[in-house]
Structure 1
Amino acid sequence: MGESLNEIAKKLNDNSKKVQLIYAFNGTGKTRLSREFKNLVSPKVDEESEEIGLLSKKILYYNAFTEDLFYWDNDLKEDAKPILKIHPNVFTKWVFEEQGQDNNVIRFFQHYTDEKLSPNFNAKYTIKESDDKETTINAYTEVSFSYGRGHDTNTDNIKISKGEESCFVWSVFYALLEQVINVLNVSEESDRETDQFNNLEYVFIDDPVTSLDENHLIELAVNLAKLIKSSDFNLNKIKFVITTHNINFYNVMYNETRQNSGYILNRLEDNTFELEEVKGDSNRCLSYHLYLKTELETAVASNQVKRQHFTYLRNLYEKTASFLGYKDWGDLLPGDKDAYYKRITNFTSHSTIANEGVAEPTPQEKQTVKLLLEHLINTYSFWKEV
């Protein structure tokens, strides 16, 4: 019998560590955990006041619901330009109008997407309704996008992809987080340029921008870790809770923030949950899984499967079975498990490895490696980066 997400949220809240890093499969309950944690830290917050994830000045939080606070105006006429709306609040006004962070948001966004793709924030303007009543549209509540094609020509008013939209929302959040940390790193409260963040206790980040390619996601992790390290914990006591389903992101954050342990969130058969602490070198198994997977994919793609790749495949199955709680790695095999089991063990036994006279894999055996690798990736969400 495990625990409820509320009980796990209480454990996270009671922990005194500056950074708590959590790995979980997609669909395990990471986003629900972030909601439980938010409700625990700020239980009386009006849901409609959650713009940009800042809740009752106690928790700054980013997850899938944060992205929903940015929405496309679907009421436009057919010939009108696509507009991404931003729910305004005192903190967006502080970031954009008082701090002038719109250029930083653009810089972050273009760095992770395309330097030719430009967000364009609106200035304050008025519109006349059908009854001749004028309505004021405040600055920094609408964003349009254009794409530069060189020679001073642009494609204006385009609707960006969902992945690009996620990058934009993250860029706004990151600019806000950067400014918040800069403010709270000033030791004397009376010397801070604003007192609006003095009660901030937590930053909760759930799966940031998983649509990024691997290189950009690693870079994002390095930059986020650097920003977290710059936050003076002895001074401001801000604690960070970060969840991810991406193995590489977890590994980079773990090493860059110099953690002694991390956590794995598991959902049990009775739909309760377990937060398992993983200490020290045990965290390296996550990145080793990725290494084996990459080596096998490269060998299959180039038709260079050798005997050692059967060892890699068996190792990958063994570690995945152990990670998922199976007693034997053969339990993960498809179809005729015994036949596949014998094929793999034939190439991975010590006597076979020592015998240089054993033939290299046949085309059929190479195809077996491809089939079993694809089965592992497609069957177990642990491997699928969404």
Structure 2
Amino acid sequence: MDLSQIAEQIKDASENIFLIYAFNSTGKTRLSVEYKETAKNTDGRQTGVYYNAFSEDLFVWDNEHTKLNIVSSSLNQYHSQLNELDVMDKLKPYNPKYDFRFQSHENLEQGFASISFFMKEDEEQHPVKISRGEERIFIWCFFLALIEVDSWTGEQSDYFFIDDPVSSMDDHNIFITAFTLMNLIEKHYERKKIIITTHHIGLATILSDWLSKGEKAGKFKAIRRGEKNKYKISILEKIGDQYELSNPRNSVLLYHLRVLQILDTAIQEDSLEVYHLALLRQVLENIASFLGVGQFQYVLQQIGFTEESGKMADIINALTHQKVYYPQVGVMVPDNKQILIDVYNALMGKYHFVLHN
């Protein structure tokens, strides 16, 4: 199939949630463009909202005046319903070191012209240039705030297509983005089709686990015999000049080894933070799933924590709750740090994973 046929396949599918993993340069962004064209209604109007590399291209740095200019587009008409607090609310979990202000066009109906950034402690608000990673997080949060504008998403209410929102993010921010995407899915999946594509195996694995085996997975699964799940997890593969959406069970995705490498480095460098417990939990859950059991407490028992497995599972559960990804609880206390190290060492001793550098 070509990408237009893939887009048609997704559009016509009964599932409302599509999670698609693909290597870079496979065609994810082009697929989002094809879907946009395929999903247009009969008079050529857009029926949904998308975020991809072209969305990021609407923001261009003016280095001379140290501000981020916004290229005029059809989205500008909705800017008047946004303010700094709306966007900052989405930014908060990412712990930005800066604040910002919007500059509007003289004609307010044309929306925002640019954005200026300044350090939070700078009362005189001298403009600064934020990093590329910070910029991409800001644009993502701007988009998240914008899709809550009813006049935009109300007119284009059929779908969200989100292509790779985690480029240039570190592991901590990828977890935050995963929670953000799950919140978006939970809020809208019954009324809209939601397509998420990514080249990041960690994000794909986390969302896949939450959709299929997480605490809230029941709401996304088929209830009656003969029904389909409300989600579909696929890998976009290019074979010659053709494409296909394959079943991920036909591919080996060794995300757990990458996570163990990250944990090993953090332990060796004494740089453990609370979110590393979430990474450890992912490994425990992956092993539990491989062993055919539903609870990672079973894995704790298998690696030697027989009597205290329940207590340790409770601690890991508590510290990997959603609030852990907010910065005010990012520092790990020594006792919890030791739990992580002990569990990691026991895992490596039991299963002898080989971590290639």
Tell me the TM-score range normalised by the shorter chain: 0.5 to 0.7
Which amino acid in structure 2 is aligned with residue 13 of structure 1?
K
The answer to whether 1:122 aligns with 2:95 is no
State the partner residue of 2:196: 242
The answer to whether 1:230 aligns with 2:230 is no
State the partner residue of 1:86: 70
State the partner residue of 1:294: 259
State the partner residue of 1:215: 172
State the partner residue of 2:47: 58
Identify the match of residue 90 of structure 2 among 108, 121, 138: 108
The answer to whether 1:67 aligns with 2:67 is no
The answer to whether 1:36 aligns with 2:20 is no
- With over 3 angstroms needed to count, the CA separation of the structure-2 counterparts of 1:57 and 1:8, relative to structure 1, is closer
Q: Take 2:56 and 2:152, find their aligned partners in 1: how far apart are those partners?
A: 26
- With over 3 angstroms needed to count, the CA separation of the structure-2 counterparts of 1:119 and 1:276, relative to structure 1, is same
Identify the match of residue 115 of structure 2 among 132, 137, 143: 143
Q: Take 1:110 and 1:195, find their aligned partners in 2: how far apart are those partners?
A: 24
Check whether the contact 2:39–2:46 (CA below 8 A) recurs between aligned residues. Answer: no
The answer to whether 1:256 aligns with 2:210 is yes
- For residues 284-324 of structure 1, the C-alpha deviation after alignment (integer angstroms, 9 at most, x for no partner) is 963xx222233356558859xxxxxxxxxxxxxxxxxxxxx
Q: Secondary structure at the match of 1:178?
A: coil
Q: Take 2:205 and 2:250, find their aligned partners in 1: how far apart are those partners?
A: 8
Check whether the contact 1:67–1:166 (CA below 8 A) recurs between aligned residues. Answer: yes
> What TM-score, normalized to structure 2?
0.62
Larger Rg: 1
Name the Cα RMSD after superposition. Answer: 3.6
1:1-386 map, 5 Å? 3-42=1-40, 56-73=45-62, 76=64, 81-88=65-72, 91-94=75-78, 96-97=79-80, 99-114=81-96, 116-125=97-106, 140-149=112-121, 152=123, 154=125, 156-180=126-150, 194=151, 197-231=154-188, 233=190, 237-257=191-211, 258=217, 261-268=232-239, 270-278=240-248, 282=249, 286=253, 289-296=254-261, 302=268, 373-374=356-357
- With over 3 angstroms needed to count, the CA separation of the structure-2 counterparts of 1:195 and 1:262, relative to structure 1, is closer
What percent of counterpart residues are identical?
A: 32
Q: Secondary structure at the match of 2:69?
A: strand
- For residues 204-258 of structure 1, the C-alpha deviation after alignment (integer angstroms, 9 at most, x for no partner) is 100003222112211211122112211262xxx3101110111221122223343
Q: Take 1:255 and 1:33, find their aligned partners in 2: how far apart are those partners?
A: 24
Tell me how far 1:178 sits from its aligned partner. Answer: 3.1
Q: Take 1:112 and 1:274, find their aligned partners in 2: how far apart are those partners?
A: 35
Check whether the contact 1:110–1:118 (CA below 8 A) recurs between aligned residues. Answer: no
- For residues 302-359 of structure 1, the C-alpha deviation after alignment (integer angstroms, 9 at most, x for no partner) is 59xxxxxxxxxxxxxxxxxxxxxxxxxxxxxxxxxxxxxxxxxxxxxxxxxxxxxxxx
Q: Secondary structure at the match of 1:210?
A: coil
Gap runs ≥5 in structure 1: 46-54, 127-135, 181-193, 304-368, 375-386
Alignment size in residue pairs: 259
Check whether the contact 1:206–1:243 (CA below 8 A) recurs between aligned residues. Answer: yes
Check whether the contact 1:178–1:227 (CA below 8 A) recurs between aligned residues. Answer: no
Q: Take 2:250 and 2:208, find their aligned partners in 1: how far apart are those partners?
A: 8
Q: Take 2:68 and 2:260, find their aligned partners in 1: how far apart are those partners?
A: 41
Q: Take 1:297 and 1:220, find their aligned partners in 2: how far apart are those partners?
A: 18
Tell me how far 1:82 sits from its aligned partner. Answer: 1.4
- For residues 132-176 of structure 1, the C-alpha deviation after alignment (integer angstroms, 9 at most, x for no partner) is xxxx996522111101346x465x211222222111111111012
Q: Take 1:246 and 1:298, find their aligned partners in 2: how far apart are those partners?
A: 18
Gap runs ≥5 in structure 2: 212-216, 221-228, 270-353
